[in-house]
Structures are given as structure tokens and as C-alpha cells.
Structure 1
């Protein structure tokens, strides 16, 4: 864990008198503040604060460490200010799902690296959420309506989904006219969701939910898309995943009067303080591409 950040967190706890206030001031989660405080106490080899349900009290060892941690924070700020205007450089570890790598980041990265040749990107592809700290990830790009707790979430854009099926499936089974009709169809769905329902909004903006079931599930949208092309059933997938098949007629959209729930695309990282220039530039590039 970053000891300079731990020192900064410890300083803010002492200044504000509580872990919750420090979390709000630093824009990080309360559990992360506790972890940084634990790191400081391990580093110092002593208890720095007495914690009770009513208040925090600094220990004699804490008083001594506070003076040193303030000096360390000031030194870190001076170093950061000296390099604040430098060009993005260094290694940037990015985590994302397979479809995000293929359709969002893959097209952006070559131009980004050409623009910032001193940056090296390590792309970690994993369809499950990763530990930013444990896996040493600088930023995770996720399509979700529920960002992982304990991280800063910067909204980069939106992911629009479509419900689609092959022409052969629709000819054999007919096309659903309302979300309620999905109960009569084989719906291909994401395996990592315990309860299966698809959410829509109608022309009046009313939210509708339809329970779905089917004989195939997968954790990767490209596999669901391929199954739909093969005539297995209806799939709700990101529009960017289905676009090529929709354009060449291998898939057709259904339920055009109902808009599937739109999910946000987030960049998740641990702290806004001392954010590397490479990370800021990368997030800006992704956001610019998604909102163009």
C-alpha cells in the first residue's frame, strides 16, 4: 500500500477528528481510510490513535508520527508540483471485460500510444471485477449500474443495449411485441446474474421489467451474440457487440418500441490525489471517444 497516501490520510484524520470526515474530504471510502490508518500503525510499529464510538484521541506515538507524516506529505506535494506539467509517461495497468477491450479500448489504444509514446499500457482482460489494489490496477473500465465500492468512479459514457435474434429464429417463433411476450421465448442471458430479468423503458418513459428464461447463458456478450446468430434465441447485448451482425442481416432487433436499460461506462480508480498524468490522459481519451 502507498505509504505516502497513508501518511496523507493519517494527517486528514488528525485534522478533522474522524475517519468518516477524512473519507469525505479525500473522496475515498471509509473502509479505505481504515486500511490506510492500519498501514500507518504497522509502519510506525505503534498505535497512533485511540478509537472509541465517541471520538478519536491521538497517542503520544501518534503526535510524534504526525509531525513526520506532515513533513512527508509536504515533500510529496513539492515533488508532484514539480512534475505536474510533465508529459504522460510510465506503465498504466488497465482492467476491463472482453467486450470492452474489443469494442471500446482496442480501437482507442493505438492512437493514444502514438500520441503519448512514453506511456506503456498493460491491458488485463477479466470479465469479473478485480481488486484494484491487490492486482495493482491503475484503472478498471466497467459497464455497470453498480460500480465497485471503495473506488472513485468517473463516468465516461453510456452503453446502449439491443434485444436481437436471427431471422431464422424469428421466422420460426415469431417476434415478441411487448416485454411480457419474452416469457414465451428462449432468452439467452448473462450467467453471472443470479436473477434473470430484463429492464426496459417505453415511449412514455415508464420502466418495465420482464422475467426471462432460456437454455443457454454465458459471461461474455460475444458468445451470447454468436448464439443468437446461430438461432438459439433472443439475446440482450450491447449494441456495439451486435452492430456488425445487425448491419449484415445476421441479426434483427426486436421490441423497437421499448428501450433496454442503458448502463453507464465507468473508469474506476482508487484516489483523485496524485493522479498520474498518464491516467488522466487515458480517461480523457476514452471519454472523448465515447461522447463524440
Structure 2
């Protein structure tokens, strides 16, 4: 068996703490993962892990071997990257929400695919978070303040939002002058914001959280924007998505001296030990594109 592959499998077993999870992440059978582990133990000449029905733990020898296999896979990746630097290839599975796909990823895709014609990009567009391991996703692009633990999160940029409403809504219900006035308004909010709170930066540079409520929530920001345009309430929208409606006067900014707190844009992936060149180049290209927006 290929010892480099065995080392990569061993690293993934240690990262995920389970042979079954490693098998799902690598797209191979559990018996094959067991065979690679046996190969590593035969190579090392000692037991590397304690296996039980409840958990998997490393032996002292296993801890030492893990450091060596991580170095081995890094060296293997450097060699592969050198050989594929000019023509990266393979399939890259990318997961993201609808807004992220259309507003952030779509603008950079044509140039990326032209520059790297041997890379095949598979987009999984889903407004519900997906499991990178279970869905065999290489990288997820997330707009979040709290990247999931246990994963590598590379910050690519930030998403700025704007609080806005239609002129007709404000004429009928009044324009809020202070953050506290939002409790008197119908606030159209994103479904996955915990506790239905909006975060703002006050004039002193401090983050202020305000609880909001309203008769519409959605997991797609474009739906909230359409509702705001049609006088349903006040919405917090990504600046990239709202700019056309703001420029046309269909929406107007609200509480401009209290800008919403920016949210980070991250590329989420499973491991630094083996990051294909195509994945790194995709994240590089997306980060550069976000800087230009």
C-alpha cells in the first residue's frame, strides 16, 4: 500500500477521531481505512491508537507518529503543488448560500475557470449549512461571526450591511431616529440570526445589540429585499445586494449613523495537512475578487 496515502488517512483519522468519519471524509470504505491504519501500525512497529466502541485515542507512539505523518503529507503536497503549479486539475466541491453564490462567487467564476481550465467546480448552493464531511464538500464559503469549531477558517473579506426601508413605509410608519425606535417597527430579518438581534456600531465604536421582531423572516436575503421594496418593513441587507435599489430610490438608508456590524466571509475546510492546489487557488481568487468589490 502507498505509505503517503496511508499517512494521509492516518492524519484524517486523528483529526476526526473516528474511522467511519475518516472514511466519509475521504470517500473510501471503512474497511479500507482500517487497512491503511494497520499498514501504518505495521510500518511503525507498534500500536498507534486505542480503539473502543465509544472513542478512539492515540497512544504515546501514535502522537509521535502523527507529527511525522503530518510532515510527510506536507512534503508530499509541496511536491504535488510544484508539479501541478502551472496546470492544477481535479474536481472542487464548493458549498455556499444563494446570496454568496450569486453575489460573491459568480463574479469571479468566469475568470477562474478560464485561467484553470482543468479544474472542475461543483457548486452546492444551499441556504442551510451542510456537513463538509457528510456531503464530501472541499470548501464552504460562509458569512458568519462564528466559524464552526474543528474546521480551518480562512478569512477572505467582510460583508457590510445596510439598514433600509422604502420611502412609502417610512412615510406611513415614521423614520426611526434611535436604535431603540426599532422596537416600534416591523423588522424583516434573516432566519438564522440567533435570538433575532441586529448588531450595530455606535458613535463610540462599540457594538450594540438590538432585539428586533417582525412578521417576516427568510433564509434568502433577496426575498427580504423585495419585501422591503414593497413597503413591508425595515430590512438589514448586504450592501452588495441592496445597492441597485438604493441607487434607484426604491429603498433609502435608515439610522445611517449606526452602521450594522460587518460580518466575516470565510472559506471553511477540514485540514491544512492536505489542501489541493485548486482549492487554495480558488480561495485566493475569491479573496482578490472580494477586495475589488
Displacement of 1:75: 9.2
Structure 1 pair 3/56, CA: closer, same or farther in 2 (3 Å)?
closer
The match for 1:162 is 162
Pair 1:190-2:173 in alignment: no
The match for 1:35 among 10, 13, 18 is: 18
SS state at 1:164 partner: strand
1:78, 1:166 → 2: CA distance?
54
Count of residues in Structure 1 that have an aligned counterpart in Structure 2: 266
**Normalising by structure 1, what TM-score?**
0.80
Is the CA contact (8 Å cut-off) linking 2:19 and 2:34 kept in structure 1?
A: no
Structure 1 pair 9/191, CA: closer, same or farther in 2 (3 Å)?
closer
Q: Deviations over 1:137-190 (max 9, x none)?
A: 111001000112221100000100111101110111111111110001000111
**Normalising by structure 2, what TM-score?**
0.80
The match for 2:44 is none
Pair 1:210-2:210 in alignment: yes
Is the CA contact (8 Å cut-off) linking 1:5 and 1:36 kept in structure 2?
A: no
The match for 2:109 is 109
Structure 1 unaligned regions, length at least 5? 11-18, 20-31
Structure 1 pair 250/73, CA: closer, same or farther in 2 (3 Å)?
closer
Is the CA contact (8 Å cut-off) linking 2:176 and 2:255 kept in structure 1?
A: yes
The match for 2:28 is none
Structure 1 pair 171/131, CA: closer, same or farther in 2 (3 Å)?
same
SS state at 1:259 partner: coil
SS state at 1:285 partner: helix
Pair 1:5-2:27 in alignment: no
Structure 1 pair 50/119, CA: closer, same or farther in 2 (3 Å)?
closer
2:115, 2:75 → 1: CA distance?
31
Is the CA contact (8 Å cut-off) linking 2:81 and 2:277 kept in structure 1?
A: no
Q: Deviations over 1:4-39 (max 9, x none)?
A: 4233467xxxxxxxx7xxxxxxxxxxxx34236985
1:258, 1:48 → 2: CA distance?
56
Q: Which moved more, 1:273-282 or 1:215-224?
A: 273-282
SS state at 2:289 partner: helix
The match for 1:264 is 264
The match for 2:25 is none
Structure 1 pair 110/229, CA: closer, same or farther in 2 (3 Å)?
same
